[in-house]
Amino acid sequence: MSRTVSPTLEQVPRLTQALWQGQIQTVTLLAMTTAELARHLEQAAEENPVIEVVSGVRRATLAAPPEVPVADRARLADHLWEQVPHASLAASDEPVLRFILDLLDQDGYLRESSEAIAALAGATADQVARLVALIRTLEPKGVGARNLPECLEAQLLAAAPPDELALAIVRAHLEDLAGRRYNTIARATGQDVAAVRRAAEAIQQLDPRPGQGWSTAPPNYVRPDLEVALTPEGVSCQLTAQSEFHITVDTSLRSLMSAASQAERAWLDHCLQQGRQLSECLRQRRTLLLAVAQAACQHQRAFFERGPAALKPLTMTSLAAELGLSVSTVSRAVRHKTLHCQQGTFELRVLFPPRAGASQAAAPAAKSLLRQIIAAEPKSDPFSDQALAAQLGSYGVRVSRRTVARYRSELGLPGAAERASA
């Protein structure tokens, strides 16, 4: 029989600025996905003879969570993260910057406003705007733009010197450019048609989707990290069986080392210490992840009862204060984690909607649900946008056909006709 874990605040380690080595390892493990953690533990076991990894030790209470598609955004985010001049960032900037990078869509665009991101991340709009400006200095140029004109403008400004006519066109005449109305553009800019054609050719060399090259792989299919169920007492949150890892440390080698050299005994002692530390850090990761997830789920109980439309505003900053943790710790716990409940599988971060209207707050969860509905639809007869709106409505998400089409576009999912021919 499975055991529901509800960590108390006393169980949650309070991280200080003077992090000792074990705590650094704990927060590193906390930021890992289940797959990353499994690889890390496997490598540790290969390098240390006293470490044995045990996984899947618990039977789930819900039906086995299905594999669900999760778009691969990590590669672009990680590529950008590696370019960041971290020495110039304040300590409070890093979790917010990482959060913003994870919001980039498959084309490399940042669709949310600075105000919405600030509310979601518990930051200020000025801080978000400054970090977005930093992202736009990174490669590939155009990443972090909120629309096509901004994307093309960023690429043109990166040239030395920038093409002033091309800049004027992307800022005010893209519709005319798309319609090949070169004479109209020439009259508006005071340039001759030949110059407009040259500028048009330069614009055609730009990349309207700078993030596309980093996200063309098919979606990753992942199993959720957490199971959530409603109980008479509230909301129960626990790790899924495949996310549950334990470390055992084999101390039997110690008795075999009586005739070993001092260097060999010192090496074994180091291995044993390393194994015990990894075991403790893994336990702390579990406690932190469950504490954050349990608290967020409890705040959003209505979401699990009535669906995405019932989401309430919640920031990582407020939850961190409630738990006595740093915002960066909460951000690491939420990063790339997924939960499974009776309504489907969602990224944990959908429980942190911005302080906006109900429809805006529900959008991330609705998009996640839409992705799952499309993944499970009959391949020979895909749902139309109207049918998808009806499907979402059955989960309590009331949206129009046009909103479904917009969500699809933002997720990079084709229409029904294209999905049928795929």
In this predicted model, what pLDDT tens digit does every residue of 211-233 receive, in sequence order?
A: 876 643 444 556 789 999 998 88
Residue 415 pairs in a beta bridge with none
Rounded mean pLDDT of 256-270?
A: 77
- The fraction of the chain above a pLDDT of 90, given in percent, is 24
In this predicted model, what pLDDT tens digit does every residue of 277-322 receive, in sequence order?
A: 899 999 999 999 999 999 999 999 988 888 776 778 888 888 999 9
DSSP type of residue 300: T
Does 156 or 311 have the greater pLDDT score? 156
- Whole-model pTM over 0.85: no
The pLDDT value given to residue 90: 85
Tell me the C-alpha distance between 409 and 143, whole Å.
17
The pLDDT value given to residue 188: 94
Residue 411, number of CB atoms within 10 A of its CB: 17
355-421 placed in CATH 1.10.10.10: no
For the chain, the straight-line distance linking the first and the last C-alpha, in angstroms and rounded, comes to 44
Tell me the C-alpha distance between 289 and 30, whole Å.
7
DSSP labels for 350-408? GGS--SS-HHHHHHHHHHHHHHHHHHHS-TTSPPPHHHHHHHHHHTT----HHHHHHHH
CATH architecture of 72-143+213-218: Orthogonal Bundle (1.10)
Q: What is the dihedral of CA 283, 287, 292, 294, to 10 degrees?
A: 130
Tell me the C-alpha distance between 34 and 67, whole Å.
13
Residue 338's closest CA among 251, 422, 223? 223
Q: pLDDT band for 134, please (50, 70, 90 cuts).
A: very high
